Structure 1
Amino acid sequence: MEFPQIDEAYTLINEKLQVWLEQGIKHLPNIVVALVIAVVFGLLAKVIGSTLQRVLRRAFESKQIADLLTAIAKAFITCAGIFIALDFVGLQGAVTSLLAGAGIIGLAVGFAFQDLTENFIAGIAMGIRKPFEIGDIIEADGVFGTVEAINLRNTLIETFYGQLEIVPNKILFRNILTNYTVQGYRRVEIPVGISYADDPEKARQVIVEAINSRDYVIDKDNTDVYAESFGDSSINLLVWFCMKYPGEPNYMIVRHDAIVTIQRALADNDILIPFPIRTLDFGIKGGEKLDAMMSSKQSRTDSEKSREVKPASSKGADSPEQGESAGDE
């Protein structure tokens, strides 16, 4: 009993195997070269990655960012070697399919993890730009403190109240960020008011001399006092001076000492720092003199009292007559 279908299938399989064997023998040198290329690119990725890692760790404060960039560079070199090897074998279609698939997967992942990706990219950008470093004092989006760590997704900031704030990198990347450490100094502003009876120029000289006598004041030529505005009870002045920042003594101690120094200097020179005062002036245009108002009010009061006394006197005069009538009866 014959099975023609099995014979035909065997023949087809045999022919295919022979073709593949012939093609394999024909492309064997290309396959060997492709394997060599892949191995060479793998070793190259390892060597370049190690060198790049050392360089990036010296360049960036965050080791995570350095390691990430190193991993990306190694993956890029390895993938380039694989694609070149596939192309050398003659699998250009496979290379195109892999690139298209990688693009689609990357797009899908980007949309699915948009917030994570944004923080991630912001962390890499800040690692390259380096707007601040670990130990810097920064302020951004209501957070004010010392940078403790810089990660890929967030930055850890210790506030001056002792809390540890975890701030997403995109917030630091998008918003206005103030770095108080870069310049090495900080300007201190202290408002103070003097009475209208005192001379602002004299107060300015007294305050500048007193502030410049303190050791924490730097760049003393820029210490100054400016008349800011007319207040309800005082002429408002603004005291400016510079201190080393960050450093010792700290900002709050310097500000406290400066306020005490200003108060003592003004008191020693008989310059008044007034508390809120309210003065009633009835003599302005359209008004009335205070003494005239008081005299008019006193006259009305006396008149009202006299009217009240007369009826009472009449009643008192009638009472004896009634008493005498009652006695006669």
Structure 2
Amino acid sequence: MEFEAINNFWTLIHDKVNSWMEAGVKHLPNMVVALIIVVVFAILARIASKVMSNILHRAFESKQIADLLSAIFKVIVFIAGVFIALEFLGLTGTVTSLLAGAGIIGLAIGFAFQDMTENLIAGIAMGVRKPFQIGDVIEAEGVFGTVKAINLRNTVIETFFGQLEIVPNKILFRNIVTNYTTTGERRIEVPVGISYADDVEHATEVIKDALKTKKFVSKEDEVEVFAEGFGDSSVNLLVWFWIDYPGHVGFMQARHEAVHLIHQTLTKNDILIPFPIRTLDFGAKGGEKLNTMLSSKEVASKSDSSNNKQSISE
């Protein structure tokens, strides 16, 4: 009985192996073709990755972004070849399962690394849009400085105080970014006040003529001086002029020279830049000065005193 059971066992194994061998021999041509497809797509993926890398390195400032996109493209081409090979072998269910599994895994990774993924996508999007480049002066979310590096997850900005600020890409992608380098020019505003006794038009003309002599002023015909309003002790003016940015003269230096020049010009033309002045008015309706009120009180006091003496003598 035992020998019969063992014989049946070996017969079953033999039949199973034979069926596998027959199926293998039957599908051997398809397996060879599928293997050739995988090899061909592997070679194509490598060639396509190199071509894409060369194109992306010319298109992007960040080498990391270019390398990442070329690597993703390489993997996509290779996976496409694998799926075609599996489909050629008749493993349609396997392909569907792999795609579903990849989708679930990708979704899980996206939720687990949401912040990292958001910064990565923002970095790639900024690499395509190019709102700024390395060396540009930008301002965003309280950070003001020069862009030193653009990475996959963050951007490195060197502030004008000498510190390096590492800003996540999603912050730069979501919020307003001011790029001071794109247009190649920048406007400087200098507020100045003149006394109420001076002529506004005369002050405007002398300031304009003085600024137009400076080499760092890029648009002489757009030097403007506007009366901004009335201050406590002065008529407030706003001086506008343009400089090349970045240029031979920096923003701070140009503003310093402009303030110095405006001060010299107004002094030379006998136009006063007043300090705060306070006028004391003691009348309810205005116009009453302190010395007048004191004199009036003194006279009234003397009058009352004489009347009192007269009444006592009587």
Report SS of the residue matched to 1:134.
coil
Q: Match for residue 200 of structure 1? A: 200
Residues 89-104 of structure 1 aligned to structure 2 (within 5 Å):
89-104=89-104
For structure 2, which runs of at least 5 residues remain unmatched after alignment?
Answer: 307-314
Report SS of the residue matched to 2:183.
coil
Answer whether contact 2:280 2:289 (CA < 8 A) is retained: no
Q: Match for residue 166 of structure 2? A: 166
Q: Match for residue 280 of structure 1? A: 280
CA distance in 2, matches of 1:226, 1:286: 31
Decide whether aligned partners of structure 1 residues 162 and 286 sit closer, same or farther in structure 2, where only a CA change above 3 A counts: closer
Decide whether aligned partners of structure 1 residues 304 and 45 sit closer, same or farther in structure 2, where only a CA change above 3 A counts: farther
CA RMSD, aligned part only?
1.9
Q: Match for residue 190 of structure 1? A: 190
CA distance in 1, matches of 2:292, 2:223: 51
Tell me which amino acid in the other structure corresponds to 1:164: L
Q: Match for residue 119 of structure 2? A: 119
CA distance in 1, matches of 2:134, 2:286: 66
Decide whether aligned partners of structure 1 residues 70 and 304 sit closer, same or farther in structure 2, where only a CA change above 3 A counts: farther
Tell me which amino acid in the other structure corresponds to 1:125: A
Report SS of the residue matched to 2:2.
coil
Q: Match for residue 231 of structure 1? A: 231
CA distance in 2, matches of 1:216, 1:56: 38
1:3 aligns with 2:11: no
**1:172-205 CA-partner distances (Å, limit 9, x unpaired):** 1111001111100000000000111111111100
Report SS of the residue matched to 2:281.
coil
Decide whether aligned partners of structure 1 residues 292 and 101 sit closer, same or farther in structure 2, where only a CA change above 3 A counts: same
Query: How far has the Cα of 1:16 moved from its partner?
Result: 1.4
How many pairs align? 306
Report SS of the residue matched to 1:11.
helix
Query: How far has the Cα of 1:256 moved from its partner?
Result: 0.4
Structure 1's consecutive aligned runs of 4 or more residues displaced over 4 angstroms after TM superposition are 286-292, 299-306
Q: Match for residue 53 of structure 2? A: 53
Residues 256-271 of structure 1 aligned to structure 2 (within 5 Å):
256-271=256-271
CA distance in 1, matches of 2:276, 2:289: 24
Answer whether contact 1:283 1:290 (CA < 8 A) is retained: no
Query: How far has the Cα of 1:150 moved from its partner?
Result: 0.6
1:39 aligns with 2:42: no
Query: How far has the Cα of 1:300 moved from its partner?
Result: 6.8
Q: Match for residue 245 of structure 1? A: 245
Report SS of the residue matched to 1:3.
helix
Please say which of residues 279-288 and 74-83 is displaced more in the overlay.
Answer: 279-288
Report SS of the residue matched to 1:126.
helix
Decide whether aligned partners of structure 1 residues 109 and 301 sit closer, same or farther in structure 2, where only a CA change above 3 A counts: farther
Report SS of the residue matched to 2:124.
helix
Query: How far has the Cα of 1:290 moved from its partner?
Result: 4.3
Tell me which amino acid in the other structure corresponds to 2:119: N
Q: Match for residue 12 of structure 1? A: 12
Decide whether aligned partners of structure 1 residues 217 and 284 sit closer, same or farther in structure 2, where only a CA change above 3 A counts: farther
Q: Match for residue 312 of structure 2? A: none
Residues 134-153 of structure 1 aligned to structure 2 (within 5 Å):
134-153=134-153
Report SS of the residue matched to 1:218.
coil
CA distance in 1, matches of 2:205, 2:167: 45
Q: Match for residue 318 of structure 1? A: none
Report SS of the residue matched to 1:167.
strand
Q: Match for residue 327 of structure 1? A: none
Answer whether contact 2:203 2:266 (CA < 8 A) is retained: yes
Report SS of the residue matched to 2:127.
helix
Decide whether aligned partners of structure 1 residues 59 and 277 sit closer, same or farther in structure 2, where only a CA change above 3 A counts: same
Tell me which amino acid in the other structure corresponds to 1:44: L
- What TM-score, normalized to structure 1? 0.89
CA distance in 2, matches of 1:103, 1:216: 59
Tell me which amino acid in the other structure corresponds to 2:208: V
CA distance in 2, matches of 1:232, 1:198: 15
Answer whether contact 1:137 1:181 (CA < 8 A) is retained: yes
CA distance in 2, matches of 1:121, 1:28: 44
